[in-house]
Amino acid sequence: MIDKAPRPTDQAKTGTSSPSLLVVLAHPDDESLACGGLIAWCAATGIKVSLLCLTHGENGQTNNLDLVALSSSLKSVRRAELERAAAVLGITEVIVGNHEDGMLPWIEPELVESDILEAIKRLHPETVITFGADGLYWHPDHIAVHERATAVVASLGDDGPALYYVTLPAGAMRTVVNHAMQVWDKQNLSTPRPESILGVTNIDAFGEGAATPTLVITTRKFSVPKLKALVCHQSQLRDSALLFVSEKDAPRLLATEHYRRANVGTKEPSFLEQFR
């Protein structure tokens, strides 16, 4: 493990340009839950981080009707929440696609792939992160993004960026829920039991069947901005276990992130490997 990532000046000494990272995901809040710690860590060390979110999440959980009532739609609410979370994490640029939430597996693959390819060609990221084949918790949209991003990077051959798949450690979200239930019980609250994570009630699906990671990162202090970014997604937090995670708890509950290097794209080393 290291306490800091390579500085851009370190990269310059080796004759390469400053590294950059593109994160390709499906919905607002995916970025914070899946890889918020690493994003914040990269941004804090001067690495440019961009996010391509392929939908607005407009068909997601409507967990806070008061928030939606203040806006024209859940779509605009979730876009605003994403912008706030991105600011917390230090993301330089947020690109939001207009593909329909919940329909990514059934949209023509070329339409989604063209958005991903355009972002890669314009931003020239050294490394791309997207979902693993398990889609964090077998979400069909997430699995579709995994397939589309892999196809795009594969089409670029050795000229493509390094590609990494992010997965959640099996049992990690169950630990978060168990912690939340202990706090809830201790406080003797009358509110509903905090048994979900961002609207997902099948907690044990998180990380189930995920491939073994090739890179395990412990984000330490960057788990706190990760938590703060998660809390930005207020529309998805009703009765959520995440509301019972304090900043003191975050390093224990949210710091570990799993990544697996894909076998497509460049074969050159990625700066991510220095975050061990």
Mean pLDDT score across all residues of the chain: 91
136, 167 in Cβ contact below 8 A? Answer: yes
219, 250 in Cβ contact below 8 A? Answer: no
Under the banding of pLDDT at 50, 70 and 90, the label for residue 64 is: low
* Phi, psi for residue 167 in degrees, rounded to 5: -135, 165
Domain boundaries, the chain: 8-274
13, 82 in Cβ contact below 8 A? Answer: no
Provide the whole-model pTM: 0.92
Helix axes 30-44, 223-232, angle to 10 degrees: 140
pLDDT attached to residue 74: 87
Q: Which residue has the higher pLDDT, 174 or 11?
A: 174
Q: Kindly state the average pLDDT of the residues 94-118.
A: 97
Q: Which of 15-24, 27-36, 171-180, 184-193 has the lowest mean pLDDT?
A: 15-24
pLDDT tens string 234-276:
999 988 999 999 999 999 999 999 999 999 999 999 999 999 7
- Computed on alpha carbons and rounded to an integer, the radius of gyration of the chain in Å comes to 18
260, 164 in Cβ contact below 8 A? Answer: yes
Question: What fold is seen in the domain 8-274?
Answer: Rossmann fold (3.40.50)
pLDDT attached to residue 61: 67
pLDDT over 70 at 186, yes or no: yes
Q: Kindly state the average pLDDT of the residues 91-102.
A: 96
pLDDT attached to residue 40: 98
Q: Kindly state the average pLDDT of the residues 23-41.
A: 98
Rounded CA separation 137/243 (Å): 20
State the burial class of residue 222 (Cβ atoms within 10 Å of its Cβ: 0-12, 13-18, 19+).
buried
Q: Beta 215-218 vs 256-261: how paired, if at all?
A: antiparallel
Nearest-5° angle of CA 92, CA 95, CA 100?
150
- What is the rounded (10 degree) CA torsion for 239, 36, 227, 241? 20
CA neighbor of 229 nearest in space, from 100, 39, 67: 39
